[in-house]
Amino acid sequence: MANYKVVSMPGDGIGKVVLPEAIRVLDAVGFDADYIHADIGWEFWCTEGNALPERTVDLLAEHKLGLFGAITSKPKAKATAELDPSLRDKGHVYFSPIVGMRQRFQLDVCLRPCRSFPGNPLNFIRRTVDGGFEEPKVDAVIFRQNTEGLYCGIEWTNPPAGVRDGLALHPKYKAFADVPPEELAMSVRLFTRKACERILRASFAYAKKHGYPGVTVCEKPNVLRETSGMMETVAAEVQKDYPELKLWSTNIDAQMMWLTKNPEDYGVLVAGNLFGDIISDAFAGLVGGLGFACSGNIGDDVAVFEPTHGSAPKYEQLDPPIVNPIAMILSGAMLLDHVDEGAKADRIRGAVAAVVAEGKVRTYDMLKLPGGPEVFQRGAASTRELTDAILANL
Ligand code: NAI
Ligand code: MG
């Protein structure tokens, strides 16, 4: 029997293309695991009225480790239209299975490393004063609070009277008191001390383990005094347990501006849900974009690793497939880190680095080509060929 059991959730579209590539690489480094297929995604919304079937939740609860590809989600009207006729009018409401997984298993720490691979033509470069250019080395790791903040899901258009009464306790509500409720939309930004502490502890521990000089909290405490303020207060408390590490603070807006000025100055960053989503995408854009962006959703009990990209439906039918498997493969390496198989993870990252540096085998995105079946004539490698090159470099 294998040492590990990993729940494999390819999902929709290119999720089905890239996940098997990651498993090929994990097998090749000798990761002793069995992969148990689990259903997730649009198909199961249409046929069962649930994109995250209970049997998948049960498998995750049992095996604790998941690899996830990507899912497709569609707006409300389409979701209703595509639901099997026998399921209509039975109260089924589409709910994102990713958000569902994060909430069901309290996967509250989202880890998104954004590291540049030398030789990647997609790496960010910047002008120097003498008219040349330079390529800063980006080595940022974003810790995004994954379960609350502005994505906690508490929101209304036309909030009920009780909610408006509650809001009226706040002096600032006066300015909105006369707005007809049906013209009022609100999304609650909710932070808990416990979740702030967990994401901060995880980030400080990571910074210490990996030799970063400190942690940067990226929020907006000058305006969002309560929520961002709580994150900053707790950060200062947690830092007391890490006297050797520094604590910096940046504002999300300024951080976005500095991103392209001096990205090399940032290492471990921590933010609430929405700001974390934003800075992690922004940093990912400096190191190759969606084809390279890997992530982990980590709870106390269960952890699920996934590329940041979606299901890219327009490429799903292409045979051979053209999409870049690196984001998924690096997510597999993160799974290895998580189970203390760091040496195997390093081998994978080393092989990816070698292939990128050599530059002979590149998917269409790395050649900056528009996607389509014609990319092969223009020198692009297929998904499988890129994985083969990585395997050859292990
Ligand atoms: P997407 O990430 O699927 O694709 C956007 C574009 O990025 C693609 O057209 C393609 O040009 C490029 N791209 C994505 N992955 C790539 C890869 N591995 N290699 C090369 N190029 C790649 O986002 P989009 O088009 O906004 O959404 C498509 C569907 O995916 C939607 O239904 C959306 O709801 C869902 N989605 C799911 C996510 C998830 O499962 N975590 C995240 C984002 C979107
Ligand atoms: Mg995003």
Give CA 337 to chain center in angstroms.
16
CA–CA separation, 368 and 362 (whole Å): 10
Ligand nearest to the CA of 381: 1
The pLDDT of residue 272 is: 98
User: What are the pLDDT digits (tens) for 9-58?
Assistant: 999 999 999 999 999 999 999 999 999 999 999 999 999 999 999 999 99
pLDDT computed for residue 2 by the predictor:
85
Ligand 2 center to 286 CA (angstroms): 15
What pTM value is reported for the model? 0.95
Q: Determine the distance from the C-alpha atom of residue 391 to the mean position of all C-alpha atoms in its chain, rounded to a whole number.
A: 25
Cα-Cα-Cα-Cα dihedral sign, residues 100, 106, 108, 112: negative
Nearest CA to ligand 1 atom 43: 310
Burial class (CB in 10 A: 0-12, 13-18, 19+), 336: buried
The ligand minimizing its distance to the Cα of 15 is: 1
The answer to whether 348 and 333 have CB atoms below 8 angstroms apart is yes
Confidence of residue 89 (pLDDT cuts 50, 70, 90): confident
pLDDT tens digits along 289-319? 999 999 999 999 999 999 999 999 999 999 9
Average pLDDT over residues 109-134: 97
Cα separation, 49 vs 246, in Å, equals 48
Residue 75's pLDDT is what?
85
Interval between CA 305 and ligand 1 midpoint (Å): 16
C-alpha–C-alpha distance, residues 39 and 316, integer Å:
18
In CATH terms, 124-153+189-286 corresponds, of 3.40.718.10, 3.90.930.12, 3.40.720.10, 2.115.10.20, to 3.40.718.10
What number is the average pLDDT over the span 166-185? 96
**pLDDT at site 76:** 82
Residues 6+ away with beta carbon under 8 Å from 96: 51, 71, 73
Q: Is it the case that residue 369 has pLDDT exceeding 90?
A: yes
Q: Which residues line ligand 1 (CB under 6 A)?
A: 14, 70-73, 98, 290-291, 309-314, 323-324, 327, 365, 371
Boundaries of every domain in the chain: 1-111+296-394, 124-153+189-286, 154-187
List of E strands, 71-132: 109-115, 126-127
CA of 308 to the centre of ligand 2 (A): 7
- pLDDT at position 173, please? 96
Rounded Cα gap, residues 305 and 332, in angstroms: 7
Q: How far is the CA of 342 from the centre of ligand 2 (A)?
A: 26
Query: Which of 329, 295, 335, 340 is CA-nearest to residue 65?
Result: 335
Instruction: Ligand 1, residue 323: give the atom nearest the CA.
Output: 19
For the residues 171-190, what does the mean pLDDT come to?
A: 96
d(Cα 258, Cα 343) in Å, to the nearest integer? 34
| Amino acid 390: pLDDT | 98
pLDDT digits (tens, 9 = 90+) for 316-353: 999 999 999 999 999 999 999 999 999 999 999 999 99
Ligand 2 centroid–CA 210 distance in Å is: 25
Q: Are strands 65-70 and 4-11 parallel, antiparallel or unpaired?
A: parallel
Query: Does 1-111+296-394 carry CATH code 3.40.718.10?
Result: yes
DSSP codes of every residue in 365-378: GGGTPPPSGGGGTT
- The ligand whose atoms approach the alpha carbon of 297 most closely is 1
Query: What is the Cα–Cα distance from 144 to 213, expressed in whole angstroms?
Result: 19
Q: Is the pLDDT of residue 386 over 90?
A: yes
The full 3-state SS of 211-224, as one line of letters, equals CCCEEEEEECCCCC
Is the pLDDT at 169 greater than 90, yes or no?
Answer: yes
- The candidate with the shortest Cα–Cα distance to 146, out of 190, 102, 197, is 102
Beta bridge partner(s), residue 298: 109, 303
Q: For 115-133, what is the mean pLDDT?
A: 96
Same fold, 1-111+296-394 and 124-153+189-286: yes
| Helix 193-209 / helix 227-239 crossing angle, nearest 10 deg | 40
pLDDT of residue 32: 97
Residues paired with 35 in a beta bridge: 6
Angle of CA points 259, 261, 212, to nearest 5°? 60
- Give the mutation target among 309, 314, 331, 382 for probing the ligand 1 site: most ligand atoms within 8 A of CB: 309
208 residue type, one letter: K
